[in-house]
Chain A
């Protein structure tokens, strides 16, 4: 009846207006480029179940409006996010310059453990490029962000961006750096008991022991 997954991660997509945040999300969920995309009003929502390193993870993605007038509304969605895609437009230095503001917002409002990946979108418009790959990757390194250049039009690196972010979160959970049980972690356990129980009995009892604690 309900879809099964091991984890649910809450993701944010943030960045200035017109950088293609909604198109990235659309490409990720529908595998299509979103023509005639309008400005997002407030915050939109999308979800997809992906397979990362043998685990099924449901990504619950909140796509925020980039426009300044929605800023206070979108800020109220930051808390309890496990991961974020910070998006700028490689053909617009303006959107690159505001990254520090967005980053500051994310660092102060979201959980300190939030995993952020920087996405230089509109990679397909290389002719109009205003921000070089090198420059952005240096910025990413300085701020401890992962970095990818993406194209919501062609779909290049879109899936990778989301998966990379999810994978990092999973690694942090495995290493104990992230505690999914903590409130506001943006991570929830899913209902995978069905699948686990179909495995041989030995593992079932093991799981049961885990559950009982």
Chain B
């Protein structure tokens, strides 16, 4: 037993062997290995030779069926292997899994040893329990020289295993590019397995672009198969895209060919989508997937670096936009369809009762035909028949619109994607704008009939404010829930793994905040990080505290927002009732105030981006500023109700004879000193009269609510817009924005009581609960 504790050396073995009673083939331990196994495993050649000389059985199998040769092969013990072979170790013995020594060498890519071994092997294609040969395993693991050695030793290059998988199949399933290359250049056949899965399928599933490219190089027709795969919804889009990306980068002609083919597939798909008998869901998804991939590959640009930036010409001096040509057929059909729908709309409008009247005519004609049985009138009747057909056909104008609206809208979405991928980021293509303008009426008709279309397909609206304004009134009419879903969907679009909530956080990305200087340390940490990182996720840790996770993030937003409105910073002033805030017109007391406002906007934007609520409620007018909605005099009431009342009074009453002596200027209090500010050029000499009082009210309002704090608002918005694009926030009104940013300002106690679950033996009638509930009600009443 001391063998296991003492290092294996030949002295101890020879001592042991001197004892002639010792059985040299004695099997030790649970796995029943002989000393020869152990020597082979460790590579102790001297011991091995000693044992063999003493007559140890070189083919003794342990409990798993392994011989010493297996172990030597597995561990790459070259000398041991040579000695074992010298002593006639059988190279063809399989272990219990059917593996032979040659398999072990192939798994680990021990080409040199393999070279020695194959001289002794009668069949290099010996199969394991799964029908796999050494070549299979070498291919799977990508050992190039091993594969070459096996092939040179006559291994069957196309040998299928029990499931029909060939060595090429194995190489492809693991993305072994070089191995696949060797196999293909040696004439390996391209064979599917028994369930029809091909090597190309495997490459695409694994996203192995390089291996795919090798396959296509050798089997040109696979190119079309690869393109057709874009239509298969079972294939993961990101993997397929990765593969197509890689292949497109091989050369300009690859790039060109891939895009042209994708455009052709997309066009056929789009036309299928426009066939009413096809499945809307399936064809729509397929079209959009292909177009997404197409646009992605197009944006990458051709491989040659000298023309990477300009959207003009590739090496062959053919315009890059050439690849869009096949799609023109689809856009042409789309255009014709929309024109057709427009005509239908017009006809319906001109003749609103057409459907009823035409069916009446049809039934009349039918009756007439029924009464006519003589042969002489059969011609007439068939003419009438034709008439009926025409009439009936025109009765379904409404149907045509409702049946095609979804499908056409999806094609419009595809059209938009293709138009904008030719434009610099953030710009809408003039062609698309022209398209929307041309079909304005039809598109409005679509979305009025089915507003869901906006959220499903009209994403272009969010990226193009001038188009958005056309549809704004329809969008604003949609439920808040739908709009906020749309908002977040687009806000997070393009974020990798935006569906993943708990992403591992990099230690260096954690914002380390000091509680005693919340504002300053937060400012420092946030400015150190990048916007992209902050968008991906925020992790906060307070200095000297262990806590991490969403709770801490929530707390940070909570106390930071309290700090932002801290009167000591003079950034925000309270409204008259003290519950809401807006920028302080005198914040410039702090020379750095605009940076602070930008930071505040940054934090608010970040909070909204990550759906974190902040503990600030702003004045109605400030929400309007965020949304870009003009303020009116009633908004003044939130900061100065008395003043708002005065303005209201001026508007409501005839002021001509009151002698108010108001001019178009206002005195404002700047830290105690009164300053006169004109409302418009030369305002102090213009008197307010009955005729211009409305202008006065508007200008006064703007001064108090906007002009006085314009720099602050601008700075705030600059920060806010880094996370929240202005076009997106437009979807909401000022009340909804408050809800998104700060949540419900009031707690509905009744709703709370109604939806409370009582556990631990309490019930609604319990005195403790009753007291609790009534005190909440009381507090709510007091607050109101």
Contacts and interface: CB of A to CB of B under 8 A. Distances in A.
Given A39-B392, A41-B403, 4 more contacts: A45-B277, A76-B333, A183-B326, A189-B221
Interface residues of A, number: 41
Interface in B176-193: 187, 189-192
Contacts of B332: 76
The B contact surface, by secondary structure, is helix
Interface string B266-287: 0010011011111000000000
Interface string B298-327: 000000000000000000000000000110
A92 B385 CA distance: 12
Interface stretch (B222-230, B354-362, B648-656): B222-230
Given A18-B389, A42-B404, A45-B278, A72 B189 contact: no
Contacts of A212: 220
Nearest to A43: B275
Nearest to A190: B224
A77 interface: yes
Contacts of B260: 183
Contact of B336 (A18, A76, A92, A204): A76
Interface string A72-91: 11011101100000000000
Size range of the interface on B? 35 or more
Contacts, number: 111
A183 to B, nearest CB: 7
A73 B337 contact: yes
Given A72-B339, A191-B224, A191-B225, A204 B187 contact: yes
B228 A62 contact: no
A194 B190 contact: yes
Nearest to B188: A197
B359 to A, nearest CB: 15
Contacts of B191: 194, 197-198
A193 B168 CA distance: 15
A75 B337 CA distance: 11
A59 to B, nearest CB: 13
Of the candidates B192, B198, B275, the one having the most CB atoms from chain A within 10 angstroms of its own CB is B275
A206 B305 CA distance: 36
A44 B518 CA distance: 65
B275 to A, nearest CB: 4
Interface in A162-213: 183, 188-194, 197-198, 201, 204-205, 208, 210-212
A134 interface: no
A44 B198 contact: no
Nearest to A63: B275
Contact of A44 (B189, B222, B277, B393): B277
Given A45-B271, A45-B275, A80 B221 contact: no
A62 B189 CA distance: 37
Contacts of B198: 1, 194
A106 to B, nearest CB: 16
A60 interface: yes
A76 B192 CA distance: 40
A192 B271 contact: no
A103 B13 CA distance: 98
Contacts of A1: 196-198, 201, 232
A189 B325 contact: no
A14 to B, nearest CB: 15
A75 B336 CA distance: 9
Contact of B329 (A42, A70, A79): A79
Interface string B568-611: 00000000000000000000000000000000000000000000
Q: Which 10 A-B pairs have the closest CB atoms?
A: A211-B220, A76-B333, A45-B275, A193-B221, A191-B225, A73-B336, A76-B332, A72-B336, A193-B219, A76-B336
Contact of A67 (B197, B275, B393): B393
B218 interface: yes
A2 B228 contact: yes
Nearest to A75: B336
**From A79, A190, A193, residue with most partner B Cβ within 10 Å:** A193
